[in-house]
Amino acid sequence: MKTLTAAEISIGMELPELVVDATPTFIISTAIATRDFEDVHHDRDAAVARGTKDIFLNILTDNGLVQRYVTDWAGPEALVRSINIRLGVPCYANDTLTFSGRVAEETVVGRESRFVIEVRARDSLGDHITGTVQIAVPQGDGQ
């Protein structure tokens, strides 16, 4: 399990696609694992009564998925420094999320050089998440 070095990353690189099946079990187990007990994330009848068509994914899980997507690619020792996400359409039970990403810029914060990864997760309704993740990785060129 290797972590990418700065020398191995270049602007414009595309991350491999990740597909996540948003089954009811996935939506409920992630809601509970994030300690989010809002009924719209685990109780279909309650969600429908509130005017949505089914239970849907919660925001804390979106943050987790985006983190996972980027470190799955960059490697276990890539340090996640920030996650900014904008929420679009909901992700209802039984939909599928497809993650795509691209290295957008290299930036220096303090003494740390970081890469900004643009991430997008689409479902059948459109963009569920758009956002950016900043990571710091080892230099890897002898520095």
Query: In the complex, what is the shortest distance from the CB of residue 103 to another protein, in angstroms, rounded to a whole number?
Result: 19
State the amino acid at position 87 in one-letter form.
Answer: L
DSSP-derived 3-state class of residue 5: coil
Position 54 contacts another protein (CB under 8 A) = no
Position 30 contacts another protein (CB under 8 A) = yes
Query: In the complex, what is the shortest distance from the CB of residue 120 to another protein, in angstroms, rounded to a whole number?
Result: 14
Do the Cβ atoms of 92 and 55 come closer than 8 Å?
A: yes
Position 119 contacts another protein (CB under 8 A) = no
Position 20 contacts another protein (CB under 8 A) = yes
| Among positions 19, 35, 108, 142, the unique one binding another protein when judged by CB under 8 A | 35
CA-CA-CA-CA torsion for 45, 51, 56, 60, nearest 10 degrees? -110
Position 53 contacts another protein (CB under 8 A) = no
74: left (phi over 0), alpha (psi -120 to 50) or beta: alpha
Mask for 63-92, x = binds another protein (CB under 8 A): xxxxxx--xx---xx-xxxxxxxxx-----
Query: In the complex, what is the shortest distance from the CB of residue 112 to another protein, in angstroms, rounded to a whole number?
Result: 12
Q: In angstroms, what CA-CA distances link 85 with 59, 73, 106, 133?
A: 9, 18, 19, 8
Position 60 contacts another protein (CB under 8 A) = yes
Half-sphere exposure of 79 (CA within 13 A, CB side): 9
CA 22 – CA 97 distance, rounded (Å) = 7
Binding site for another protein (CB under 8 A): 1, 20, 26, 29-30, 32-37, 51, 59-61, 63-68, 71-72, 76-77, 79-87, 131, 138
